[in-house]
Amino acid sequence: MNRIEKVFQNLKQNNEKAFVPYIMAGDGGLDTLAEKITFLEKSGATAIEIGIPFSDPVADGPVIQQAGIRALQAGTTLRGVMAKIAEIRPIVHIPIVFMTYMNPIMAYGIGNFIADASKAGVDGLILPDLPAEEEEIIAPIAERSGIEIIRLVTLTSPIERIQEIAARGKGFLYAVTVNGITGARKGFNEELGKHLEMVKEVSPIPVLAGFGISEPSHVEEMNRHCDGVIVGSKIVDLFESGDLDGIEALIAASKAEKIKL
Burial class, 73, CB count within 10 angstroms (exposed 0-12 / middle 13-18 / buried 19+): exposed
Annotated catalytic residue, options 16, 27, 60, 237: 60
pLDDT score, position 255: 87
**Count of domains forming the chain:** 1
pLDDT along the chain (261 residues), means of 10: 93 96 97 97 98 88 93 96 97 97 97 98 97 95 96 93 93 85 55 92 96 92 95 95 97 74 40
Which domain does 227 fall in, by range? 3-253
pTM of the model: 0.93
Residue 177 located in a structural domain: yes
pLDDT score, position 257: 58
Report the distance separating Cα 15 and Cα 9, nearest Å.
10
Residue 173 located in a structural domain: yes
| 60 flagged as catalytic | yes
Annotated catalytic residue, options 16, 27, 35, 49: 49
pLDDT score, position 115: 98
Q: Please choose, from the candidates 156, 151, 253, the residue with its C-alpha nearest in 3D space to the C-alpha of residue 195.
A: 156
Residue 94 located in a structural domain: yes
Residue 59 located in a structural domain: yes
pLDDT score, position 1: 74
CATH code at position 31: 3.20.20.70
